[in-house]
Structure 1
Amino acid sequence: MSKLKQMSIFAHIVEQGSVSAAAEKLELSKSVVSQHLKILEQELGASLLKRTTRRQTLTSMGERFYLSCKDINVIADSAWDMAKAELEEPQGRIRITAPNALMDLLVAPVVADLMKQYPKLKPELISDDQHLDFMEHDIDLAVRVGTSRDSNLKQKRLGEFKDVLCGVESMRSRELESIPYIANSWQGKQVSHHFTSQTDQNFIYQQQASCTTNSFHSCLALIKSGVGIGVIPDFYLSQLSNEVIDIMPSFQLPTNTVYALNPFASNTPIAIKLCVQALEEKLKQNFV
């Protein structure tokens, strides 16, 4: 690392025309710059500059060495410019995962708005009702229900919603225990729901799943077909135009809390920050 620094300083000395001018450019003392040059020449075993009190010229070795050293500064400047540009305008790939229901009505609309504001942003969206491993799937941001036990992840609460036990209209007239239950695979095959009424009456519903699926959309399609009942987020139910209904309108399920998780220990990328802020705002407007 010190060699790269010394090479960079040498290139600045050549380009600025003197040790003093390079020191001023780099905001270092003249003695520090001179010392770096001295060490560099000692390690190379060759003089790079011929200096008098009024001028400096490159030795033949110095001329050849400078051609390589100047590229270090060009590359460094280019990298800094790129990083600063990204801070001013989010750009590049951002890989986001969320459950299907949240992806459809929360994440995808938010990302669409961000793409309109920042055309250089290149989102990759992964809808999956299972929790994907951040490292294995190269995830930048996950939107999930509930927190994670992984202390390496940054977690921010975004908002809340409630699940609703739903079915087609004809399900209301049937005994609840006699109706087949359609479960998403994350629920398991033995389903249990704790309902509370507006008068604080508690009711625990337990049922063996008649069908399981690893996709929210498959679960919803089965419920809409009338073969069984299952839970649907309240924000999604409002979009279904009475295709399915709340079959227990006098009772409510517990609140679900939505979190944004990312694996960045510090200096979270601006694209992630903007996305989380927009998700939080949309949840406040439409979900809570």
Structure 2
Amino acid sequence: MDRLQAMRIFVTVVNEGSFVQAAEKLDVSPQLISKSLGQLEDHLGVRLLNRTTRRQHLTEAGSTYFARAQQVLADIDDMELQLSGLQQSARGVLRISAPVSFAIRHLAPLVCAFQKAYPEVVVDLQLNDRKVDIIEEGFDIALRIGRLESSSLIAKRIAPVRLVYCAAPDYLAQEGVPADLVALREHRYLHYSYMDESFVPSAAQVMRSNNGDVLVAAACEGAGIALQPTFIAADALRSGRLQTVLSEFEPEPIALYAIFAHRQLLASKVRAFLDFIDGYFGDPPYWDSY
């Protein structure tokens, strides 16, 4: 028995849903499909599929074997692609989801440089601050900022992200500079809707928004104190329209991550982008040089 061929046949049967469809996919006879699966089950000593005249269902052992078999086959295919040089020929549509403010401020140069390096890749960049379901919504990569929850997806850390408390000099001259987080209760606070609740101080929220640029602009107008990432606030801090406060109470840095599906689904266009973005912004990133 060719174990690799049997493994590929089994995975194809599961993906196609029937012996007949798998046989058509692999251009072999249904009898060969049945014989190969029988030999594989005999070799493993377990039943992988419960079969009836109309359908089949994975057993518990079959589900485990299917997941591992997919990975093994994907690794083999990936190795062959790299050895043949095809891994360099990234092509197709690369769908990326990214946070609005970060993408507007920092992604255009990266995407343009990437497409110069990989001219056969079309980038479909969709901006959204919510956490998209990359599999259900058909994204290859999602860029996310924050602290990641446990997930079956793969996360690649791209760059650290600092959060700073900041306010306009005129506001601080009028209302005073808070000495600690408790003192924020006496101040006007501009709250980002998606902010991790552990970062939210006990302050009077006078404005809420799901967009950080709006909150930074409001802070520049003297509306109150905001807690915002430096990739948004750096320009205003550099020009003096904002200044940082409570530096000793600055939250631990979070990070920008690239989220993608299990590496068994990693196409050359995805791998190329992940390699390209790795280290692109620097560590510390260039926006922290204000």
TM-score (norm 1): 0.60
What corresponds to 2:246 in structure 1?
248
Q: Deviations over 1:229-284 (max 9, x none)?
A: 21221233333322222133454221112221112441511222222223221233
- Structure 1 stretch 233-242 or stretch 87-96: which is displaced more? 233-242
Could you tell me how far 1:6 is from its partner in structure 2?
5.6
Cα distance in 1 for residues equivalent to 2:188 and 2:270: 41
The total of aligned residue pairs comes to 200
Match of 1:5 among 27, 42, 45: 27
Q: Confirm whether residue 206 of structure 1 aligns to residue 202 of structure 2.
A: yes
Match of 1:283, SS state, is: coil
CA distance in 1: counterparts of 2:242 and 2:258, whole angstroms: 29
- Counterparts of 1:182 and 1:267, CA distance in 2: 41
Cα offset for 1:216? 2.0
Of 188, 191, 212, the residue aligned with 1:183 is 191
Question: SS in structure 2 opposite 1:258?
Answer: strand
Letter in 2 for 1:275: F
> Normalized per residue, which structure has more strand?
1
SS in 1 for 2:162: strand
**1:180, 1:86 → 2: CA distance?**
57
User: Is the CA contact 2:95–2:138 (under 8 Å) kept in the aligned structure 1?
Assistant: yes
For residue 90 of structure 1, give the secondary structure of its aligned residue in structure 2: coil
1:98·1:129 contact (CA, 8 Å) conserved in 2?
Answer: yes
CA pair 112-261 structure 1, distance change in 2 beyond 3 A: same
Q: Aligned pair in 2 of structure 1 residues 261, 209: CA closer, same or farther (>3 Å)?
A: same
Structure 2: runs of 5+ lacking an equivalent: 1-21, 30-80, 179-183
In structure 2, the partner of 1:90 is 90
CA contact (8 A) 1:180 1:228 kept: yes
Task: Quote the offset at 1:286 in angstroms.
Answer: 4.9
Matching residue of 1:224? 220
- In structure 1, C-alpha distance between the alignment counterparts of 2:233 and 2:261, rounded to whole Å: 32
Matched with 1:268 is 266
Question: With structure 2 as the length reference, what TM-score do the two structures score?
Answer: 0.59
The amino acid across from 1:91 in the alignment is R
- In the aligned structure 1, how far is the partner of 2:102 from the partner of 2:277? 10
Please report how far the alpha carbon of residue 2 of structure 1 lies from its aligned counterpart in structure 2 after TM superposition.
4.2
Task: State the superposition RMSD in angstroms.
Answer: 2.9
Counterpart Cα distance in 1 of 2:208 and 2:98: 20
Q: Which amino acid aligns with 1:143?
A: L
Q: Counterparts in 2 of 1:11-50, with a 5 A limit?
A: none
Whether the 8 Å contact between 2:160 and 2:283 is mirrored in structure 1 is no
The one-letter amino acid paired with 1:150 is S
Gap change, CA 1:133 and 1:226, over 3 Å in 2: same
Query: Match of 1:282, SS?
Result: coil
Tell whether the 8 Å contact from 1:110 to 1:275 is kept in structure 2 after alignment: no
Instruction: Give the number of the structure whose alpha-carbon radius of gyration is greater.
Output: 1
* Contact 1:155-1:260 within 8 A present in 2 as well: yes
CA distance in 2, matches of 1:266, 1:119: 24
